[in-house]
Amino acid sequence: MSDRISFHDQISRNKLKSFLLILSIFIVFIIFGIVIGLAMGPDWFFIVMVLSIIISLVYIVAGYYNSDKIALASVKAKKASMSQYPQYHHSVEGLCLASGMPKPKLYTMEDSNINAFASGRDPENAVICVTTGALEKLDKQELEGVLAHELSHIANYDIRFMTITAVLVGMIAIIAQIFLRSLFWSSFGGNSNKDNKAQIVFIIVGIALAILAPIVVTMVQMTISRKREFTADASAVKFIRSPTGLTKALKKINNETRVSPEMKKNVSKAVAPLFMSDPFKKKINGLFATHPPIEKRIKILERM
């Protein structure tokens, strides 16, 4: 059929889009820096850039090397024993053997909804956590589809990719704050050398960018997050050579309209983007959505 989708094409297309999107964030970062330099002089430009880079990198690096521990602790995850969850272990072992990946550490979290997430900076330091609801409600084929999706995030180094994105977005947000606060203090601190009309224009442009840039790059960051979900779906099909299990699992997830009490209590908004589907089941399909609509993911999988 002419409307069939190749998982290879889907993977390469979404990876290219993710790269172009992160490039666009970097371009915004450079333009913003140039405008600050023109508006406030090279000395201020250097100070602002150095401060924003140091603050952002310290914050992100600490989170990057402890991302798995932070995520697991926040949802009160427990290590999944082989004796209690043999199918879980056997499915992951089979997928890892087929894909040539090291087996990640396996965890569970108490929750009646079907969901899962992966974390860790690389395949050698990775974890997978699934809800008890997923282990109870999914059959072997469906569970393998979900686990293949999570292994794809690990294989595609999505945590590392999203960390780079977070560094750039964080730096832009910090630059914006420093720039706006420095304008406030310079305006009320007796500095009156604002006679240069060109400089005033650049200050106005800088203020506009300081307000808009963090919003724009956050929207781009969410778009990248959605693209990585599509890539993980396609990579899962590549792993198990069939879209059936993942498609059926997503249909079951889509039929769960109620957020479980455990999810409301244990999952923070910071960890929510890691999950396979939005744990809070928000029907946000716009620019600020962290996940693509499940219906769209199902349609794409059904065409593979």
Q: Catalytic residue positions? A: 150
For 101, which DSSP code?
Answer: P
Helix (H, G, I), strand (E, B) or coil at 282: coil
| Spatial distance between the Cα atoms of 243 and 148, rounded to a whole number of angstroms | 10
285 touches 293 (CB < 8 A): yes
Longest dimension (CA), the chain: 76
Say how many C-beta atoms besides its own lie within 10 A of residue 201's C-beta: 12
- The residues, ordered by sequence, that sit 6+ positions from 34 with a Cβ below 8 Å of its Cβ are none
CA-to-CA dists, residue 49 to 25, 32, 167, 272, angstroms: 16, 10, 13, 30
CA-to-CA dists, residue 208 to 76, 201, 202, 217, angstroms: 42, 11, 10, 14
